[in-house]
Amino acid sequence: MPRILVTPYLLQDTQGPFSEILTAAGLEVVFPATRLSESVLDPEALLAELAGVSGVLAGSELYSREVLRRSGLRAIARMGVGYDAIDIPAATEFKIPVTIVPGTNDVSVAETMLALLLGVYRGFPARDAEARSGAWNRQVLPRLDGRTLGLVGLGRIGKAVVPRAAALGLQLLAFDPYLDLAFAKAHSIRATSLDELIATADIVSLHCPCTADNANLINAQTLRQMKAGSVLINTARGGLVDEEALADALEAGHLLGAGLDAFKIEPLPATSRLARLPNVLLSPHMGGLDHDSWRDMSSLAAQCLADLYQGRWPERCLVNPSIGSDWQW
């Protein structure tokens, strides 16, 4: 019976719909011998856990070319929509299908984006801390209504943000190389170039994958292009932001603030300058996680592994379909 290693931190040593799906498909569910953190950087430690394993229901651990070459894996089902922790060209070369779980956490990320945005504009949690301590500073901050929100990426998550942002009275801009023009028109979203969006928006919110082409998309130059008093929100990938340049812009007062749910190194090091800035609101990369999305993501990832094992091709979830639907477990 093929063994499936389940690595996401909050699933380790638990049971649920995901384990029922895998077991019903004739797959054996196993968990790491030692509880893994969300980001396993030591390839030897990961390879030790992958010994004798045919597939993995994966978290954010790193699957490098070397790990993939030596692992003997037949399939990887990522419990999330990002896949930058997996060397996709290597997985394709070694005939390892990689799947993600589209459509399972859009609402959760959209809600987190708005929570960060409202927190920055209304001064939380600093106002809460002041009130608890007896301080009564009552700093006045800008109104959010009527501001312009620029969405960098208008895929599933960006689209989930749109009606929620519109309900707050925000005007909407979007940049996406594959922009859904019909959706944009239906929701009164003005399509712009990336440069125009960065220079025009009061809030720049990132909703795109991190690739070799857009790493450090937000850097010293683009931060200078942003309006004075504007806000950056990142619920996408930490690699999109040059964190030192962002800290410089925040310390200089060029930006009103930032709300961040993703970082280059996770967990965010205690030495990070961002952790010391009062105008930054931080979240531990939990944007896509709520009770419903956790269930749906783990179930769909498990179903992808079950489908692959039983000869069904989970096309809408595949990252590297060029392997070919004639692939066999």
Closest by Cα among 161, 129, 121, 165 to 255: 121
Predicted local distance difference test score (pLDDT) of residue 13? 86
CATH architecture for the domain at 106-282: 3-Layer(aba) Sandwich (3.40)
Question: Domain limits of the chain?
Answer: 3-103+290-323, 106-282
Catalytic residues: 237, 266, 285
**Cα atoms found within 13 Å of the Cα of residue 71, Cβ hemisphere only:** 30
CATH superfamily label, 3-103+290-323? NAD(P)-binding Rossmann-like Domain (3.40.50.720)
Tell me the mean pLDDT in the region 252-275.
96
pLDDT above 70: residue 37: no
User: Cβ neighbours of residue 61 under 8 Å, at least 6 residues apart?
Assistant: 7, 36, 38, 39, 40, 46, 85
Confidence of residue 42 (pLDDT cuts 50, 70, 90): confident
pLDDT above 70: residue 40: no
Q: For the segment 6-15, what is each residue's pLDDT rounded down to a tens digit?
A: 999 889 889 9
pLDDT above 60: residue 300: yes
Structure tokens that stand for 57 in this block: 């229901």
Whether the CA torsion 241, 242, 248, 249 is positive or negative: it is: negative
Evaluate whether 3-103+290-323 and 106-282 have a shared fold.
Answer: yes
- Burial readout 191-225 (b: 16 or more C-beta within 10 A, e: otherwise): bbebeebbbbbbbbbbbbebeeebebbbeeebbee
Burial class (CB in 10 A: 0-12, 13-18, 19+), 159: buried
Q: What's the CA gap between 300 and 226, in Å, rounded?
A: 39
Q: For the segment 92-116, what is each residue's pLDDT rounded down to a tens digit?
A: 999 999 999 999 999 999 999 999 9
Q: What's the CA gap between 234 and 112, in Å, rounded?
A: 10
Q: Which run of H or E residues covers position 132? A: helix 126-133
Structure tokens that stand for 213 in this block: 């082409």
Burial class (CB in 10 A: 0-12, 13-18, 19+), 277: middle
Q: Which run of H or E residues covers position 234? A: strand 230-234
Q: What's the CA gap between 119 and 35, in Å, rounded?
A: 33
pTM, two decimal places? 0.93
Q: For the segment 60-84, what is each residue's pLDDT rounded down to a tens digit?
A: 899 999 999 999 999 999 999 999 9
Q: What's the CA gap between 162 and 165, in Å, rounded?
A: 5
Predicted local distance difference test score (pLDDT) of residue 15? 93
Burial class (CB in 10 A: 0-12, 13-18, 19+), 266: middle
User: Cβ neighbours of residue 127 under 8 Å, at least 6 residues apart?
Assistant: none
Confidence of residue 157 (pLDDT cuts 50, 70, 90): very high
Confidence of residue 247 (pLDDT cuts 50, 70, 90): very high
Share of the chain above pLDDT 70, in %: 98
Predicted local distance difference test score (pLDDT) of residue 36? 61
Closest by Cα among 209, 176, 210, 207 to 190: 176
